Structure 1
Amino acid sequence: MARINIHLPLTKPTILILSLITFFGCEQQSPITILNMEDFMDSNVKDLTPIVTEVLEKAKDQNVERIVFPKGVYHFYPTYARDFYCTISNNDNGKRRVAFPLLDFSGIEIDGGDSEFIFHGRIVPFLIKNSTQVSLKNFSIDWKVPFALEGEVVARNEEKNSFDISISTPYKVADGHLYHCIEYENSEYEKEFGHKFRRAQSVCNLIGQNIIWDPKTMAPIFNSEAMSGLLYKLLSVEEIKPGVIRIFSPYPELPPISSIFYSKGEYLANRLCPGIRVTESKDLQLQNIDLYHAGAMGLIAERSENITLDNFNVKLKPEGGRFVSSTADATHFVHCKGEIVIRNSTFENMMDDAVNVHGIYMRVKKVLDEHRIAFETNHPHQNDLLFGKKGETVRIVGKHTLQPKTEKLSLKNVNRLNERVVILTFEEHIKETIEIGDGIENLTWTPSVLLENNSIKNNRARGFLLSTPKKIVVRNNHLATQKAGIRITSDLKLWNESGAVTDVLIENNTFEDCVFGGGGKQSVILIDPEIHSSSDCKTFEKGIVIRNNTFKTFDNAIISASFVDGLEIAGNTIIETDTYPKIAKQQQHFKIEGSKNVTIQDNQYRPLNGYQTKPTITEKNSINTTSSSNH
């Protein structure tokens, strides 16, 4: 039937006519604003994935504002899930099946009603793409079978430098190597032929990157890098009997009896399924969510604007019997803008950092002419990253100094050749000397950050990694991390993370026994842009204030800062503990290098002997550094 539009002036007779038409002939339908999942399922439903997909399509077609779950336990399998090719920064690219595909939505809330969402096998719970005003709330995320291997150390052999583990997760041994196995559909065909391609499908992954967990503290074991690590070679093993595996260790120390060997698999094949993936979206609220496990990052957000997490927790499930929550970062933000707010949240037992905010440098591959360059990604986890679009602003920096080589440049055209090489055309003439390997950073996509009232503990690696030129506020958090509680850095080396800071306030936080993992340069607060030399005192970071924090620590390294212009360390209290033996025995409390305009005042140190003394300070190649009233 053809639709006829009648345009009448809204006079009193017109209003009367419209009223009569409505009363006598036209049945008006009120828009549906809420869909209750209870209306779409029955008690016999075992896999909610196809039902959720159908409900989401209905919600989009009818502009539904809320989808509500009755409280319950719901299972999601990948068998009938929609799939998408996902290029996910800092994760593994590839086809991913998705339980909640939220694509092209505007104004939708999903309320889980305090339900448990349990996922099975290779599936991404949530994909939010090209959407605005999306709210997720009141549910938990977990997997029936984790994306990792766990085993208790039950024997050691010093002569052979080997140890035995009793494994509590699915595994297999083949060709002298150990594999952890995730859940998969065990059809008749799979039973007969599946072994031929399970590794290629990442169903069974080689054991590689690993760490030792302490069952007493539920944290990585002290000085864990002496007995485990993110190695890039295979471990040799021998199956002693079903469930007991002997591992021939390449590390100098063996883990103690009753400690927990944990491995998330082979490098570049162990970041398969993040809990929530967000891309090219805006105005997102995630509230009252417990993420107990993910086979990659808990949340990864790219090229998105205004994201708020409130009581968003990546943590162990109570009495769940596991030692690790997410197998990578709890939350990660790449090339975002607007405001990132994280408050009242708990991040614990991850295999990587709690919060990481940064841009990404692309590397100059070739200068084509006065307006064009080709760039190349280097790290495989950055292949096919959407770096920029027409009209956005970028800048080129030196590969050794990270200092700007150009003024701001406007992108006229972006031409993708393949997953690694892209040609950029600039509006402006490139007059400066550009070298192969120089970095290109996107200045359009940089967010402000507010982190307050959060708790971070028992994870491998760091607490907050922050690289953005917009305002950063970190206040009233509790951090007890294996490495630095806060790290501010940029690099043109392994990860190519960009974003020199200009306005940072770190205040009223408590740092408790951080940097207990050992290995490499460490400090509770570590400011270390990876620049080759500090001799000419060209600074990189700016405007950092660290005040009124409490550092409860067994070790000496409190704050290490390099290449900063404008650093204030004031009113902080250092309280010595005896939780662990000292690792950085020779390091001073505050280490300043290649910086200028530094003020260190009104800080106090309380050693175990009870005598209050001044914090120790060392300074190298720095200008205008003052210290006063420390006691």
Structure 2
Amino acid sequence: MQKTHKTKRYTKTSLMKPIKIVIAFIAFFSVMTSYGQKVLNMKDFNIEGIKDVTPIVVKALEKCKEEGISTLIFPKGTYHFYPTFAPEFFCEIVNNDNGLKRTAFPLIDFHDFVVDGNGSDFIFHGKMIPFIIEKSSNIKITNLSIDWEVPFTLEGLVVANDSEKNTFDIEVKTPYVVEFERLYLSLEREDSPYERKFGKRFAMWEHDNLEIAESILWDPKTMAPMYHTNQYDTHERGVKAEELKKGLIRLKAEMKKLPPIGSIFVSKGDYLQNRTSPAVRIVTSKNLTFKDVNVHHAGSMGLIAERSENITLDGFNVVLKKGSGRMITSTADATHFCNVKGNITIKNCTFENMLDDGTNIHGTYVRVNKIIDEYTLAVETYHPHQNGFLFGEEGDLVQILDQKNLQITSEPMILKKVKRINEKISYLTFDKPITGKVEIYDGIENISWQPTAVIENNVIRNNRARSMILKTRKKVVVRNNHLSSQMASFRITGDLGLWNESSPSNDLLIENNVIENCVYGGNGAQAIFLIDPQYVDKKNFEGKYSKNITIRNNIIKTFDSSILVAMSVDGLTFENNQIIQTDTFKPIFPDAENVQIINCNNVLIKGNTYRKIDGKQTTITIDQKSTNVKVVKGDAFSKKSSKK
């Protein structure tokens, strides 16, 4: 509770005057001036010891906006934020769950503004988005950490399993026991706080229902996903649960293999319901900097940016909090950028223990639903997480691409008009006729919103999925990073079949990175470098998708076989990479080709070394569609190249 202070009252006029001067003096310094910039210090709001600082922070932000204050600074401390008095906005967030979102930092239409946490810990409760940044410019967030008191994942230590009954027991510590009963719908007991309606079991708390689903095993020894975890995964809903005693839960689920004792069972909830609360949401903003920010947990991505320009992450870390005992940071990507332009800089960051990628930079295709006339198309978003997606606005340049081969079929066209019909359908009117250039289910790509990127001096480790997914037509440089992810370290792809993520990589340099023991999840023979546009028919396609990709001077330590799969690239260089076979794990796909070149042109492979410990020969295949492929004599793969 807020402390009250008793003040003596003086009635003499001679004493009131000095007091008024002192009050004015204090008021003047509560909004300090530094180099001509006004600074508001939250210390003057007496926020220390307040249970919920959300309404106070919101009020302070309103004051900053009204009075042109440029910096909001916090005294170092730990502050708790609850959704009860948080302002609410309907948010359509790409690759996330849409809906009403409550926030403690509604930075909407803010300009030239800094939030300085001064090393503080911001602890959130329930379904909130800590920072919503919209229609803003020149924003800096610095010197703070973001965490949740109770996480959005269930984590339980496996203490027993029974192969005959197909059950396993997990030990769940507080606060997970309470959260398990409150958030997960499968607990079977008479006194459980549930009621039965409409033939289903519902939780009584509003907005906090999540079924056990999308589960994975974690290894507490490596603090990473379990080796070959694909054999244990269960993505099904309705996992049956029985509470044996407080904190001990028996689960029954269809799995390829029961979890081993000592592993950690992790569940993030049902698909299309478990991406509610990214730590930072950015939209229609520009010139943003995040410096020395730690995200210890988030109920989706650490940071999601769309339709924005020029974003710098310097020491933006998605990391476990020391001593927390948790396995998971963000339940989706650490960072995610969709239809961003200008430059993305990611440097000096650590991303660890996410349930998805380190970073994903891409656009999003919309699909043709109907041809209205010779200038107008009705287009639709495809994946539910793209509903409401802001694909384009008047003046943007777009192109049409073929649904089967992902090949561009039109010259660049200007959007003359965009009319939204609903969250899935919009009408696009172009400056050029489209007759004969488009068919139903073809894609439309926005080529105006494509970023350059520099990604350097980062650590990405211990996460499910990839280190990086890179899809932009402009120049990207990835250098001096240390990477270790459960799937491919790099994936360069595009599709019109699920996520509809664009675009090709047309100028990508990957150099001087250390890549160590990736692809250990067992999700197919994924290559460390996986370049694979997702064609409808993988046997009958034509044309090239990406171009000008250089992978050089990297140290690649790997226990498994597949190093590089390159499909439909025009201009690929793979040179001077040191490949070192390790014995960290037993190979999952030992017979996979080391290198596969498929439908590529102008390929140069030279100067690579491969230090083998299993005595096997290196392998490379080059298919008949590939042309002008050169493997220089002396390269690790020069003696074993073949065509199929």
What's the TM-score, normalizing by structure 1?
Answer: 0.90
**Which of the numbers 600, 617, 639 marks the counterpart of 1:595?**
600
Is the alpha carbon distance of 1:280 and 1:618 closer, same or farther for their aligned partners in structure 2, counting shifts above 3 Å?
Answer: same
Q: Distance in 1 between matches of 2:160 and 2:361?
A: 41
1:198 to partner: Cα distance: 4.4
Structure 2 SS opposite 1:205: coil
Over the aligned positions, Cα root-mean-square deviation in angstroms equals: 2.2
Q: Distance in 1 between matches of 2:45 and 2:105?
A: 15
Q: Distance in 2 between matches of 1:297 and 1:199?
A: 27
**Which of the numbers 614, 619, 622 marks the counterpart of 1:619?**
622
Q: How does 1:379-458 map to 2 (within 5 A)?
A: 379-458=383-462
1:44 to partner: Cα distance: 3.9
> Residue 13 of structure 2 aligns with which residue?
none
> Residue 260 of structure 1 aligns with which residue?
264
Matched, 1:177 2:180: no
Contact in 1 for aligned 2:596/2:621 (Cα 8 Å): yes
Is the alpha carbon distance of 1:232 and 1:379 closer, same or farther for their aligned partners in structure 2, counting shifts above 3 Å?
Answer: farther
Structure 1 SS opposite 2:486: coil
Structure 1 SS opposite 2:104: strand
User: What is the letter of the counterpart of residue 622 of structure 2?
Assistant: E
1:382 to partner: Cα distance: 0.4
Q: How does 1:127-206 map to 2 (within 5 A)?
A: 127-168=132-173, 169=176, 170-172=179-181, 177-178=186-187, 198=203, 201-206=206-211
Contact in 2 for aligned 1:102/1:127 (Cα 8 Å): yes
Matched, 1:316 2:325: no
Q: Residues 371-414 of structure 1: CA distance to partner in whole angstroms, max 9, x if unpaired?
A: 11101112110001111111111111111110012111111111
Contact in 2 for aligned 1:349/1:458 (Cα 8 Å): yes
1:536 to partner: Cα distance: 5.9
Matched, 1:464 2:473: no
Is the alpha carbon distance of 1:192 and 1:378 closer, same or farther for their aligned partners in structure 2, counting shifts above 3 Å?
Answer: closer
**Which of the numbers 360, 363, 385 marks the counterpart of 2:364?**
360
Q: Residues 541-579 of structure 1: CA distance to partner in whole angstroms, max 9, x if unpaired?
A: 100000000100101111111010000000001001001
1:121 to partner: Cα distance: 0.9
> Residue 242 of structure 1 aligns with which residue?
246
User: What is the letter of the counterpart of residue 209 of structure 1?
Assistant: E
Q: Distance in 1 between matches of 2:299 and 2:195?
A: 27
Q: Distance in 1 between matches of 2:180 and 2:435?
A: 58
Q: Distance in 2 between matches of 1:459 and 1:172?
A: 27
Deviates more, 1:40-49 or 1:160-169: 40-49
Q: Distance in 2 between matches of 1:563 and 1:617?
A: 16
Matched, 1:486 2:490: yes
Is the alpha carbon distance of 1:375 and 1:77 closer, same or farther for their aligned partners in structure 2, counting shifts above 3 Å?
Answer: same
Matched, 1:518 2:542: no
> Residue 40 of structure 2 aligns with which residue?
35
Q: Distance in 2 between matches of 1:242 and 1:526?
A: 46
Contact in 1 for aligned 2:418/2:426 (Cα 8 Å): yes
Matched, 1:546 2:555: no
Matched, 1:278 2:287: no
Is the alpha carbon distance of 1:529 and 1:191 closer, same or farther for their aligned partners in structure 2, counting shifts above 3 Å?
Answer: closer
1:236 to partner: Cα distance: 2.4
1:158 to partner: Cα distance: 1.0
Contact in 1 for aligned 2:217/2:265 (Cα 8 Å): yes
Deviates more, 1:143-152 or 1:194-203: 194-203
> Residue 69 of structure 2 aligns with which residue?
64
Is the alpha carbon distance of 1:324 and 1:37 closer, same or farther for their aligned partners in structure 2, counting shifts above 3 Å?
Answer: same
Q: Distance in 2 between matches of 1:550 and 1:127?
A: 39
Q: How does 1:102-141 map to 2 (within 5 A)?
A: 102-141=107-146
Q: Distance in 1 between matches of 2:187 and 2:389?
A: 32
Deviates more, 1:122-131 or 1:617-626: 617-626
User: What is the letter of the counterpart of residue 54 of structure 1?
Assistant: K
**Which of the numbers 90, 94, 98 marks the counterpart of 1:93?**
98
1:174 to partner: Cα distance: 11
Q: Residues 182-227 of structure 1: CA distance to partner in whole angstroms, max 9, x if unpaired?
A: xxxxxxxx99999997478431310011100001001000010100
> Residue 5 of structure 1 aligns with which residue?
none
User: What is the letter of the counterpart of residue 231 of structure 2?
Assistant: A
User: What is the letter of the counterpart of residue 121 of structure 1?
Assistant: G
Q: Distance in 1 between matches of 2:504 and 2:462?
A: 28
Is the alpha carbon distance of 1:580 and 1:123 closer, same or farther for their aligned partners in structure 2, counting shifts above 3 Å?
Answer: same
Deviates more, 1:29-38 or 1:302-311: 29-38
1:433 to partner: Cα distance: 3.7
Structure 2, unaligned runs of 5 or more: 1-31, 637-644
Q: Distance in 1 between matches of 2:567 and 2:466?
A: 18
Q: Distance in 1 between matches of 2:87 and 2:212?
A: 29
User: What is the letter of the counterpart of residue 507 of structure 1?
Assistant: E
Q: Distance in 2 between matches of 1:201 and 1:90?
A: 24
Q: How does 1:42-57 map to 2 (within 5 A)?
A: 42-57=47-62
User: What is the letter of the counterpart of residue 142 of structure 2?
Assistant: K
Q: Distance in 2 between matches of 1:585 and 1:147?
A: 37
**Which of the numbers 273, 280, 296 marks the counterpart of 1:292?**
296
User: What is the letter of the counterpart of residue 39 of structure 1?
Assistant: D
Is the alpha carbon distance of 1:584 and 1:132 closer, same or farther for their aligned partners in structure 2, counting shifts above 3 Å?
Answer: same
Matched, 1:630 2:639: no
Is the alpha carbon distance of 1:567 and 1:585 closer, same or farther for their aligned partners in structure 2, counting shifts above 3 Å?
Answer: same
Q: Distance in 2 between matches of 1:584 and 1:191?
A: 46
Q: Distance in 2 between matches of 1:280 and 1:174?
A: 33
Q: Distance in 2 between matches of 1:546 and 1:482?
A: 20
Q: Residues 33-62 of structure 1: CA distance to partner in whole angstroms, max 9, x if unpaired?
A: 111110112434221111111111111112
Is the alpha carbon distance of 1:520 and 1:125 closer, same or farther for their aligned partners in structure 2, counting shifts above 3 Å?
Answer: same
Deviates more, 1:303-312 or 1:528-537: 528-537
Q: Residues 457-514 of structure 1: CA distance to partner in whole angstroms, max 9, x if unpaired?
A: 1111100100000001000000010001111100011100011111010000011000
Q: Distance in 2 between matches of 1:459 and 1:349?
A: 4
Contact in 2 for aligned 1:415/1:424 (Cα 8 Å): yes
Q: Percent identity?
A: 48
1:336 to partner: Cα distance: 0.3
Contact in 1 for aligned 2:405/2:542 (Cα 8 Å): no
User: What is the letter of the counterpart of residue 172 of structure 1?
Assistant: E
Deviates more, 1:531-540 or 1:374-383: 531-540
> Residue 19 of structure 1 aligns with which residue?
none
Is the alpha carbon distance of 1:175 and 1:322 closer, same or farther for their aligned partners in structure 2, counting shifts above 3 Å?
Answer: closer
Is the alpha carbon distance of 1:581 and 1:259 closer, same or farther for their aligned partners in structure 2, counting shifts above 3 Å?
Answer: same
1:173 to partner: Cα distance: 8.6
Deviates more, 1:275-284 or 1:427-436: 427-436
> Residue 21 of structure 1 aligns with which residue?
none
> Residue 574 of structure 1 aligns with which residue?
579
Contact in 2 for aligned 1:615/1:630 (Cα 8 Å): no
User: What is the letter of the counterpart of residue 502 of structure 2?
Assistant: S
User: What is the letter of the counterpart of residue 186 of structure 2?
Assistant: H
Deviates more, 1:613-622 or 1:60-69: 613-622
1:537 to partner: Cα distance: 4.6
Q: Distance in 2 between matches of 1:393 and 1:200?
A: 47
Q: State the number of aligned residues.
A: 590
Q: Distance in 1 between matches of 2:525 and 2:401?
A: 25
User: What is the letter of the counterpart of residue 569 of structure 2?
Assistant: V
Matched, 1:212 2:217: yes
Q: Distance in 2 between matches of 1:46 and 1:174?
A: 23
1:431 to partner: Cα distance: 2.8
> Residue 185 of structure 1 aligns with which residue?
none
User: What is the letter of the counterpart of residue 221 of structure 2?
Assistant: K
User: What is the letter of the counterpart of residue 144 of structure 1?
Assistant: E
Is the alpha carbon distance of 1:205 and 1:106 closer, same or farther for their aligned partners in structure 2, counting shifts above 3 Å?
Answer: same
Deviates more, 1:526-535 or 1:45-54: 526-535
Structure 1, unaligned runs of 5 or more: 1-28, 180-189
Is the alpha carbon distance of 1:536 and 1:375 closer, same or farther for their aligned partners in structure 2, counting shifts above 3 Å?
Answer: closer
Contact in 2 for aligned 1:535/1:594 (Cα 8 Å): no
1:595 to partner: Cα distance: 0.8
Contact in 1 for aligned 2:525/2:562 (Cα 8 Å): no
User: What is the letter of the counterpart of residue 105 of structure 1?
Assistant: F
Q: Distance in 2 between matches of 1:201 and 1:446?
A: 40
